[in-house]
Amino acid sequence: MKTNVLIIGLGLIGGSLAKALQRHPQVMVAGYDADPLTARKAYKMGITHSSPPSLEQAAADADVIVFATPVGATLKLMEQSRFWNLKEDVILTDTGSTKALIMDAAKGLDHAFIGGHPMAGSHKSGVEAAKEMLFENAFYILTPAEGVADSQVAFLKDLLSVTKAKVEVLAADDHDHMTAIVSHFPHLIAASLVHQLAKEEEQPFARQLAAGGFRDITRIASSNPEMWRDITTQNNDKIVRQLSNWMEEMEKLRTLLIANEPEPIEKYFQDAKSVRDELPIAGHGAMFSVYDLYVDIPDVPGIISEVTGYLAEESISIVNLRILETREDVFGILVISFQTPEDRERARACIRSRTAYDTYIS
């Protein structure tokens, strides 16, 4: 029996989910977008099976409706859905980064709503960037509304299994608390570090030095400002709580530095290193990740084209590459970024088999 899935919002997430669901032989994917050109493009690219002209009619035919839109737009669509002629057993879900507002709005719906958050992303955006492997090994969190049957959650988990994501069920409050810790709050810290650098007008050379590790640890500050405005306002109480905790931690560190005793300072760094080293390496966490490979290469003409040529011959896709000038505590001079750890390992094996250059993973 065919399952009709309607995806509303055909950006990176919605388009990638549409492509991934096509792995299921019993799924038909209809795609709708507020921009008709985007919807038609998705259909012509084979990202969706159909591009219905009417949202209401597409919703009436759907067994599963996915709101792959920003949280603000999703809330409006959820309200509109109360007036759609939906199937009795239809399942509504979303892809938003925060869940409390969404799940609160779901209380007023007459149909089953299961919140969703695929924790995957890319340095690219838009339907053109959609790819079916985006969710592989990433966490995909589900937050069922009160009263949703276990069988409906199981049905959605089975449907999403073809994405090869790690589907987990959490309470909405737990989801928002954990993402505040490991995703939302770190974005604020990255932005604040960049603001601190911007104030150093008397030391313009500092920006040149920032091209190394500083640029890496503040990468997430380059994320979409509008998206992070929304996330910060929607999960505000939990992010503020994390900020308060961090300020307490900074006060402890400040006291440690004022005392300026070597052993306690070393222990502070050692404790941090121990916790960080125990974090999982494989898979995707709450933030979009790139996987860097550091390559020790000689400074000779043509060396970069040589290395990238080897990777091209083995069809290994590169996200980014750069040459490090400031390399304190970092091995290698050439940094090649990949979107998956598997691509990085393939690249490492390729370079080792073709050259004598040392490679490192930080």
The three state secondary structure string of the chain is CCEEEEEECCCHHHHHHHHHHCCCCCEEEEEECCCHHHHHHHHHCCCCCECCCCHHHHHHHCCEEEECCCHHHHHHHHHHHCCCCCCCCCEEEECCCCCHHHHHHHCCCCCEEEEEEECCCCCCCCHHHCCCCCCCCEEEEEEECCCCCHHHHHHHHHHHHHHCCEEEECCHHHHHHHHHHHHHHHHHHHHHHHHHHHCCCCCCCHHHHCCCHHHHHCHHHHCCHHHHHHHHHHCHHHHHHHHHHHHHHHHHHHHHHHHCCHHHHHHHHHHHHHHHHCCCCCCECCCCCCEEEEEECCCCCCHHHHHHHHHHHCCCCCCEEEECCCCCCCCCCEEEEECCHHHHHHHHHHHHHHCCCEEECC
Q: Rg of the chain over CA atoms, in angstroms?
A: 23
- CATH architecture of the domain with residue range 3-170: 3-Layer(aba) Sandwich (3.40)
* pLDDT tens digits along 212-224: 667 777 777 877 7
Share of the chain above pLDDT 90, in %: 60
pTM for the model: 0.74
Alpha-carbon dihedral angle through residues 38, 43, 48, 52, given to the nearest 10 degrees:
80
Name the pLDDT band for 327 (thresholds 50, 70, 90): very low
Instruction: Look at residue 230 and tell me whether its pLDDT is greater than 60.
Output: yes
Say how far apart CA 252 and CA 241 lie, in whole Å. Answer: 17
d(CA 5, CA 65): 6
> How many Å apart are CA 254 and CA 264, to the nearest integer?
12
pLDDT at residue 134, rounded to an integer: 86
Name which of 277, 152, 280, 176 is nearest 231 in CA terms.
176
Q: Which amino acid is at 98?
A: T
pLDDT in tens, 261-272: 999 999 999 998
**Cross-strand partners of 8:** 32, 67
Residue 253 CA: distances (Å) to CA of 94, 246, 260, 311, 335: 41, 10, 10, 44, 32
Cα–Cα distance for residue pair 310/354, rounded to 1 Å: 8
Question: Does the pLDDT at position 332 exceed 50?
Answer: yes
What mean pLDDT value characterizes the chain? 88
- Predicted confidence (pLDDT) per residue in 243-262, tens digit: 999 999 999 999 999 999 99
Q: Where are the domains of the chain?
A: 3-170, 175-277, 291-360
| Same fold flag, 3-170 and 175-277 | no
Per residue in 130-174, pLDDT (tens digit) is 888 888 888 899 999 999 999 999 999 999 999 999 999 999 999
Q: What confidence tier does 20 reach under pLDDT thresholds 50, 70, 90?
A: very high
For domain 175-277, give the CATH number: 1.10.3660.10
When mean pLDDT is compared across 56-60, 169-173, 193-197, 204-208, the lowest value belongs to 204-208
Class of domain 291-360: alpha beta
